[in-house]
Structure 1
Amino acid sequence: MTNQLSDWARQFLHDFHFAVVSTLNPDGSSHLTTMWYLLEEGATIVMSAPATTHKAKNLRRDSRISICVPDGNRYISLSGRISLSDDRSIVHRDIERLVERYVQDEAARPQSIEYLIRQGRLSLRMIPEKVIEFSL
Structure 2
Amino acid sequence: MSRATIELSSGIAAFLTRPHTATLTTLRLDGSPHVAPVRFSFDAAAGVARVTTRAGARKARNVLAGNGTARVALCQSDGFRWVTLEGRAVVTDDPARLAEAVRRYTTRYRGAPPSPPDLVAIEVVVDRVLSLNL
Normalised to the residue count of structure 1, the TM-score between the two structures is 0.80
For the pair shown, the structure with the greater C-alpha radius of gyration is 1
Write out the 4+ residue segments of structure 1 that deviate beyond 4 Å after TM superposition. none
Q: Match of 1:70? A: 77
Q: Match of 1:119? A: 117
Percentage of identical aligned residues: 25
Q: Secondary structure at the match of 2:19?
A: coil
Q: Secondary structure at the match of 2:61?
A: helix
Stretches of structure 1 that go unaligned for 5 or more consecutive residues are none
Matched, 1:59 2:54: no
Q: Match of 2:105? A: 98
Question: Counterparts of 2:93 and 2:71 in 1: how far apart (Å)?
Answer: 18
Q: Secondary structure at the match of 1:16?
A: coil
1:4–1:131 contact (8 Å) kept in structure 2: no
Q: Match of 2:93? A: 86
Q: How many residues align?
A: 125
The CA RMSD measured in Å over matched residues stands at 2.1
Q: Match of 1:128? A: 126
Normalised to the residue count of structure 2, the TM-score between the two structures is 0.81
Stretches of structure 2 that go unaligned for 5 or more consecutive residues are 1-5
